[in-house]
Structure formats: C-alpha cells, structure tokens
Structure 1
C-alpha cells in the first residue's frame, strides 16, 4: 500500500504573491557575481578539507509511466580522506550497503544479502567519482560537491542564478541559492559562518518527464584541513560470499523492480 500526504493548496493570492517575489529577485551582474562568490566559498572550503565526515538523508523521486510521483528515502554516512580514500554507508527500504575505496580497489558490501564485490579502480577521488558515474552509472551521493573541481561542475552553463535568502536546515542557518542549466534546476543551501559546507543539495531534472527531484540533506558535518585517521580497509564479514559486481543486485538507490524496463 502506498500512503501519501497531500499538502494544502495555497490560495490564488498566495500563488500570486509567490510569483511576484520570484519576479523581484535580483538579476543584475553585481548580484550574480556575489552569488557565484558564495558558491565558490563553499566549493573552496570543501576541496580544502583533507578529511570529511557527515551523516545524510537522501530522497530520490521517480515518476511512473502513468505519471505517479514516488519518493524513495534512505539514510547514510560518508567518511573521506583526500586524495584517494572514501567510505560510504547507505540504508534504505530495499538495501543496506557499504562501499569502501582505498585508492586501488572499490569494495561494495550488500549487508542484507551478505554478498560483496570488488572492482579494481586506481586513482584519486575525482577519478573514482567519474568512473562510477560514467562507466558504471552508479553516482555517489553528493558527489558533485566532493570533487576538487566542483565549482566548475556546478557553474558551467549555469543560468537563472539567484539568491533566495536565508533558511534553516536541521537547525543550521544557511544561504539558499538556485540556478539551472540545460538539464537540471539546482538548489544549494550553504551553511553560514566560517565552515560553509553544503547543508542541502536538490536537483530537479527538467529533461525527464514529470521533472523528478533528487535531494541530499547533510548534518553532523566534521572536517579538517589535516589528514584524518579513519580506517579505509575492507574485511568481508563472516560468511559473506564474493560475487561479480553485476550479480550484486539492489545496491543502488533505485531498486531493480522499480527501474523502467526498455
């Protein structure tokens, strides 16, 4: 059974006021430059951190061929050590997954399956992120924000750049910015203060029918410009069976039974 909660529809006056507020957002060159500086301060801060850890909640929207909008939620955590180590944990309704990369090998464990797979990938975190996205179609959560060149990734081709004011994400005061490119609309909430980390990151695809969203919410952020001491070795649990990566099913955020069949 699918349960849904329908928000109260705003009255026409509210909708009109919201449209007027949007039309009043600054679009002149000085304002755009200031917004870009705000994003640059975030990406520079994240790229400068040698060790990072945070907890996260992800929300993946899918739209069925009948036009029904569904939301798949999961929780997780990320630990990374630049230049070439990361551990990602994610637990949702369909999978309990851990992935560890030590600079040479990516190990993926399906805890609920007691199966694991290992893939040789040599390189830094930027290379890993690109390989997972482009070769394996398995992007890491919040990967666009973790790369050393994330500013260019975010801002290339960006239009409609706007500052939407301050907002609070899980108790943290943030600056809310928005932009778009040919494929997606993007919103980022950036923590105010001397640690401008991303608190929420939302992508809306306008190239896919129904314009589904993907959102990552981040909290318990910890980082240091010095290398950390987290353990990035992988030891399979007792009784776990090694399999080929293709046989490690349902380790992505979109489970196989919900994927569109061509």
Structure 2
C-alpha cells in the first residue's frame, strides 16, 4: 500500500467519524424563520461548553454518514469512535466500522495515524495544543474532523460560529436521558441539531448536521455515550508505540495538500 493510499484510507475513516462534510456555500443565504438565538438554547450550549472544557474526558460516539454515491444513491457509513482527551495537549481516537479501523494518537509533540488492518502508520510533528494539532493533522494528513468544535478552546463559541438563529424545539429522551432538542442554522445552509442533557452537566447525547444546499442534503449523525470527566489517563495512553512489524509511511511532497491549489 502506498503512502497516498494509506492517507486516503485514513482520511476516509476519520472523516466519517470525526470531521464534517464539506461546508455548503450558499449562493443566497438561507433565512431561518426565527432570527437570533433564544435564551434557553444559548444557555444550554454555554453549559455544554463548560462540560466539554473539562481537563479530562472520554466518550464513545456511534456515527452515521449519509451521502450520495456517483449514481445518486444514498449510502450509509457506520462507525464507532472512542475518544480520550486530556487538555491542553493529549488526544486519542479509536475508530472502527464500515471503513475499517484507524487510530489517532496525539501526545503534545507528534500526531500519528495507524491502520491496524494494513499495519501501517504515519507520524507528523504537531503543535502543543489540541486545536492547533488538529489543524496540522488536517493540513499534513488531509484529515478533517466534524467534532473538532468539541475539543476547541471554547466549545460553545465554536459550535455557534456563523450561526444566525437557534432555539429549543422541545424535549426528548435519548437512551433514557431527558434532553433539550436544539436546532441552529448557519448562513452557509448548514443545520445543526443537538440533544443536550437537561441538567447542569448539559452533556450532548445526539447530534445531526444536515447540509441543505448540497445534492441530496447529506448529513452526519452521532450519538454519544459513556461521558466521563474523571478519566485520569496516563501519558502512555496518548503516545503511539507502533508494532514491531508495522510499516512506517514516509510522507513526501505528494502526500501533503498544496494550500495554493497546486500553483
């Protein structure tokens, strides 16, 4: 397997579970029925932001990405993602599902993507904080994350970036937990629905992102379980130790996206 192929596979695996579909660009911005963010929706997101800003946390996400194939038929890609975070500079992501298994390790100095199926990995130097490291992973490994807002320095502000309207639709039970059902609208034609626990912790239990202006209105669905803000993971959990027989993929110029569009 070539370096380019590994990066393609890794990018697909992580993109399904962790990164958003390409942002829709509206020729004419979508105007929501009710402009502005309601007080109860804003308060719920602010509380959720405090929970997501915990120094340490872990959770499991079951995700579905729905998109159109080349023939215009909707396809569903299922994955399970296990995440462990220690702010400001530790992160691990374990992915398994329809696109195989892929693991991401970030230890504050480097980031590695490992494919157990192919027994291959790639490693890059990374900045000393999670948001900057995720940006570097996107630039150097062509891997993007739809949940990167959860791990930003201000999760509530990142989630509401470019939002022009939002409110509480009602309440609903998710896995036996009473949640506020919130909806938000971005200028770019993206709708974000969140089911946020109706408590002081305000943990997110479900998320749906719908791209109204893309063909077929594809969406990304995630359900979150196992939230834990008392993880106390050792440094060794975030440091990648490749198997003795694993092949390291050396990243050459062709594996790094050209920010100038190839010019």
- 1:44 corresponds to: 50
- 1:219 corresponds to: 225
State how far apart, in whole Å, the 1-side matches of 2:128 and 2:214 are.
32
CA contact (8 A) 2:52 2:155 kept: no
Kindly state the Cα deviation for residue 232 of structure 1 after the two structures are TM-superposed. 1.2
The answer to whether residue 57 in structure 2 is matched with residue 87 in structure 1 is no
Q: Deviations over 1:135-159 (max 9, x none)?
A: 6441235222221222222223313
Q: From the superposition, tell whether residues 217 and 46 of structure 1 become closer, same or farther in structure 2 (CA, over 3 Å).
A: same
State how far apart, in whole Å, the 2-side matches of 1:110 and 1:204 are.
29
Q: Deviations over 1:118-174 (max 9, x none)?
A: 011122011122333456441235222221222222223313312111112222221
Kindly state the Cα deviation for residue 245 of structure 1 after the two structures are TM-superposed. 4.9
State how far apart, in whole Å, the 1-side matches of 2:168 and 2:62 are.
24
- 1:257 corresponds to: none
Kindly state the Cα deviation for residue 28 of structure 1 after the two structures are TM-superposed. 8.2
- SS in structure 1 at match of 2:229: strand
- 2:191 corresponds to: 185
State how far apart, in whole Å, the 2-side matches of 1:134 and 1:239 are.
28
State how far apart, in whole Å, the 2-side matches of 1:86 and 1:96 are.
17
What are the within-5 Å matches in structure 2 for residues 8-87 of structure 1?
27=34, 32-47=38-53, 49-87=54-92
- 1:10 corresponds to: none
Kindly state the Cα deviation for residue 195 of structure 1 after the two structures are TM-superposed. 1.9
Q: From the superposition, tell whether residues 113 and 37 of structure 1 become closer, same or farther in structure 2 (CA, over 3 Å).
A: same
Kindly state the Cα deviation for residue 209 of structure 1 after the two structures are TM-superposed. 1.2
State how far apart, in whole Å, the 1-side matches of 2:212 and 2:140 are.
23
CA contact (8 A) 1:187 1:202 kept: yes
- 1:252 corresponds to: none
* TM-score calculated relative to the size of structure 2: 0.76
State how far apart, in whole Å, the 2-side matches of 1:172 and 1:210 are.
32
CA contact (8 A) 1:53 1:78 kept: yes
Give the gaps of 5 or more residues in structure 2.
1-32, 256-263
- 1:174 corresponds to: 179
- SS in structure 2 at match of 1:127: helix
State how far apart, in whole Å, the 2-side matches of 1:156 and 1:122 are.
23
CA contact (8 A) 1:58 1:217 kept: yes
Kindly state the Cα deviation for residue 98 of structure 1 after the two structures are TM-superposed. 0.8
What are the within-5 Å matches in structure 2 for residues 211-250 of structure 1?
211-224=217-230, 228-229=233-234, 231-245=237-251
Give the gaps of 5 or more residues in structure 1.
1-25, 250-262
Task: Tell which structure's C-alpha radius of gyration is larger.
Answer: 1
User: Alignment partner for residue 197 of structure 1, among 203, 218, 221?
Assistant: 203
Q: From the superposition, tell whether residues 68 and 245 of structure 1 become closer, same or farther in structure 2 (CA, over 3 Å).
A: farther
- SS in structure 2 at match of 1:193: coil
Q: Which has the higher contact order (CA 8 A, sep 6+)?
A: 2
Moved more, 185-194 or 101-110: 185-194
- 2:127 corresponds to: 122
The answer to whether residue 186 in structure 2 is matched with residue 163 in structure 1 is no
